[in-house]
Amino acid sequence: MATVDVKIPDIGDFKDVPVIEVFVKVGDVLKAEDPILTLESDKATLEVPSPSAGKVAEILIKVGDKVSMGSAVLRLEAAGSDTASAGGAKAGAPAAAPDPVKAAAPAAVQGDAPRRTLPPPLGLDFGNAHASPSVRRLARELDVDLTAIKGTGDKGRVTLGDVKTALKGSGGGGGGVSSGTGIPEIPAQDFAKFGEIEVKPLSRLKKLSGAHLSRAWLNVPLVTHTDEADITDIEAYRKMLDGAAKEKGYRVTLLAFLLKASVSALKAYPEFNSSLSPDKGSLIYKKYYNIGVAVDTPDGLVVPVIKDVDRKGITELCQELGSVSKRMRDGKIAPADISGGTFSISSLGGIGGTNFTPLVSAPEVGILGVPRATMKPVWDGHAFQPRLMLPLCVSYDHRVVDGALGARFTRHLAAMLEDVRQLVL
């Protein structure tokens, strides 16, 4: 039987991604879309599916290996008539182009909560440092220079313990923290002596996002500016649109209007749509408007990126938001879905709250947090009128945005939301 090489499909900008799980063995019979292996990038855990049906003839990788787009991972004997009818592949036919990689996570979530969308850290060149892929990845996340650490493992291999010791600045292993940000650990406690406890492992999402969030908190001088927008009129308009949209199978939410208002503010104040250069000496202004939107899933927040928001209308945005949200909750997400954001929105209005401080996901420099809107008496010059007021919480990187600019940006957002005509032009 003819064999075909199964290769890593397009996984976005990720390269040298570690293999953390291999689901198949030689002799296994696969159907199209059966999972083959799992990769772990800095943003998500990515599941690679089989592009076609067939029998595993040879496995070319193992756990710990690093792969990129086009890397061959196994050889597949093309399915015979029985398997082909089930999986849609023909013997001797070349492997079909694989679908985008699916993100796999415990109970369905990937991405950072982050964040906010989670961007990969700047790569460090560790040269010939003797360390495993997982140790190298941890060192990159913590900004620890592996070449400055004397390994205590077999044949001088640098271990996870060596990296953690170096981070603490204790000098164990002869290393140090290249960023100079070694922070003492919180002392461990035996909680069991005070009462009953239960220990549950962190999900992959939280493990992946933890280092990124700590890095963002330590490196970004964060300021949050708050304001309110009168959305009484826009809410009435939204309800009118939503009534018609229900019959067509989608919903019109306030989030679509927030996306359009954000683009207007980003165009008016382009510093918010920029990033600091790696040397911190320049600003990189982006001429595109890709906005990350936090989506609530059973395991936490995932932040897919809605691309080219400036080129889409309210109806198109609502339909895309519905489709993307469903994919996030089903755990079906490709790397491209969570990459390339220039600004983010975290909307918690469906849950509640009066205000909060969203964390900027560097290298972005701004994020909008939206709690729940409430009815308030507002003076109109003659009398108090009941108006629906929406709190706006804009966090920004103070190295790029000063207080006056932050206040103007937030007020511009509010003004756009207070006049729906400006958003539908």
Catalytically active residues are 398
Q: List the one residue out of 135, 147, 197 whose CA is nearest residue 174.
A: 147
Report CA-CA distances (Å) from 334 to 10, 39, 99, 316.
9, 12, 9, 20
Q: Per the structure block, which two tokens stand in for 319?
A: 């339909």
Residue 370 has a CB neighbour count (10 Å cut-off) of 25
52 close to 97: Cβ distance less than 8 angstroms: no
Nearby residues of 387 by Cβ (< 8 Å), 6 or more positions away: 230, 232, 375, 376, 377, 378
Burial 303-325 (b: 16+ CB within 10 A, else e): bbbbbebbebebeebbbbbbebb
Helix runs in 169-313, H state only: 204-219, 232-246, 254-268
Q: Per the structure block, which two tokens stand in for 259?
A: 């996306």
Q: List the one residue out of 129, 193, 141, 134 whose CA is nearest residue 160.
A: 134
95 close to 52: Cβ distance less than 8 angstroms: yes
**C-alpha radius of gyration, the chain, whole number:** 25
Q: List the one residue out of 54, 358, 339 whose CA is nearest residue 220.
A: 358
39 close to 11: Cβ distance less than 8 angstroms: yes
Helix runs in 45-194, H state only: 81-87, 133-142, 160-168
Phi, psi of 75 (to 5 degrees): -110, 135
Residue 17 has a CB neighbour count (10 Å cut-off) of 25
Cβ neighbourhood burial of 164 (10 Å; 0-12, 13-18, 19+) = middle
Three-state secondary-structure class, residue 358? coil
Q: Specify the length of the chain in residues.
A: 425
